[in-house]
Amino acid sequence: MPTDRLERSLRATFLGIAVNIVLGCAKFAAGIFGHSHALIADATESFADIFNSLIVWRGIVVAETPADDDHPYGHGKAEPLAAAFGAIMLLVAALWIAIKAANDIAESFNPHSLVFREPPRWFTLVILGVVVVVKEGLFRFVFREGTALENSAVTTDAWHHRSDAITSVAAAIGITVALVGGKKYVSADDLAAIFAALIIGFNGFLLLRPAVSELMDKAPDHDLNEQVRKIAETVAGVGSVEKCFVRKMGYQFYAEMHVEVDPLMTVLRSHEIAHNVKNRVREELPRVNDVLVHIEPLGIPAKK
């Protein structure tokens, strides 16, 4: 992993941690003193985001670790692992928020309940307005960095910030309804929390799929495979490329191919061609870290 990529990934992650600490404390305090369950749930998600960002940080650092005897292909899988963990954290946060809000709504219909809820206070809206602006701006910055660096863990972390902004908007709507409608509409705060939980859960599901696909060695886009194949076919001595497989390992790619050559050439010459193919692909596609070339005799069907 290039040093610049590592530094940019860590900068985006640490910025998110710092912002979540400040906003999480502010939202939690405002939720307690402002009688807003949605705001407390929103603060809880911010604290969960801090934990997720710490996992992302470790995933980025581990993915940068060079290959060793136990991990000959490197540690790149740490990135999608961190991304999958972050997506699962979103799903867990969504479930917790929904259950908590549903219980509060059920409690409000209980005539024997001793819990008396005050409507949310107006200043909670001010806090939420600031949160939405800051978190949406943070999402755009982190998402841009994650996309540019093709770092799935950082991209998932960005969506945690967007989800935080969404829950804040939902909370603001619920609080506004509760303020305008009075005590009879105090449950609007909880309904807003449930709505936000649904959005968070949906985003978690969407983010989990690509992370799992990368962990399962899903083939990258078809264009990259064709690029590798065409580059190999330009090497002198290569008759054709029978098979070509490419898989992603963190930021880098690993290719495996079956190259057909003249069946009458020497082993030494075919060995040279294999190395030339490997070098040419790595030169023209720097993100391809290694190429495994299997030599096949041209015109003779390969054994399965």
Q: How many CB atoms lie within 10 A of CB 255?
A: 26
- For position 261, what pLDDT does the model report? 92
> How far apart (Å, rounded) are the C-alpha atoms in residues 220 and 87?
21
Nearest to 128 by CA among 26, 37, 32, 49: 26
**CATH architecture of structural domain 3-215:** Up-down Bundle (1.20)
Per-residue pLDDT, 1? 47
Give the pLDDT score at 114.
43
Strand ranges in 147-251 using DSSP code E only, listed in sequence order: 240-249
Residue 216, pLDDT score: 81
Distances (CA, A) of 283 to 7, 178, 269, 277, 289: 24, 63, 21, 10, 10
**What does the alpha-carbon distance between residue 273 and residue 269 come to, in Å, rounded to a whole number?**
6
> In a structure prediction context, what are the per-residue pLDDT tens digits for the chain, which is 304 residues long?
456 777 888 888 888 889 989 988 988 888 888 877 767 777 877 787 788 788 888 887 887 787 788 887 778 788 788 888 888 887 888 888 788 778 877 776 665 554 445 667 888 888 889 989 998 999 999 999 888 887 777 888 888 788 888 878 877 887 788 778 766 776 777 787 788 788 778 878 887 888 888 788 777 777 888 999 999 999 999 989 988 998 887 778 889 999 999 999 999 999 999 999 999 999 999 888 889 999 999 876 655 5
- Tokens linked to 199: 């959005």
CA separation, residue 152 to residues 66, 87, 113, 251, 301 (Å):
19, 11, 46, 9, 40
CATH 3.30.70.1350 maps onto the chain at 222-297
Task: Say what the pTM is.
Answer: 0.67
Question: Which CA distances in Å does 228 have to 35, 57, 77, 81, 273?
Answer: 60, 32, 22, 27, 15
Q: Kindly state which CATH superfamily the domain 222-297 is placed in.
A: Cation efflux protein, cytoplasmic domain (3.30.70.1350)
Which residue has 């710092």 as its token pair?
18
Six token digits for residue 296: 């096949």
Count of other CB atoms within 10 angstroms of residue 77: 19
Please list the residue range(s) of the chain that carry CATH number 1.20.1510.10.
3-215
